Amino acid sequence: MEVEPPSLLRYLIGSAVMMIGVVLPLGYMMFRNKREQSFDLESLETAVNSNWIDKDDDILSDMDMIVLVSDMGL
């Protein structure tokens, strides 16, 4: 059974479907997560610099977490 190669139009349609269905959603998810993380890191740096949390502690206490969450407006 012989099969002829797909036409140029079929390749273009396939690449458009791939862009819309795979590449664009993955790119959106990656960049959306990066934006949110930078906001969270800014909030944490502000909290450390203004002495809301102790810089020597490796683990945040429950009270520190409450202060951080309430200051971020969550």
From first to last of its 74 residues, what are the pLDDT tens digits of the chain?
889 999 999 999 999 999 999 999 998 888 887 655 555 566 666 655 665 555 555 555 655 656 655 665 55
Q: Read off the pTM.
A: 0.39
Tokens of 32: 């959306």
Residue 3 within any structural domain of the chain: no
Q: Which residue, 67, 26, 37, is CA-closest to 50?
A: 67
Residue 1 within any structural domain of the chain: no
Residue 2 within any structural domain of the chain: no
Residue 61 within any structural domain of the chain: yes
Domain count, the chain: 1
Provide the domain limits for residue 39: 8-72
Residue 31 within any structural domain of the chain: yes
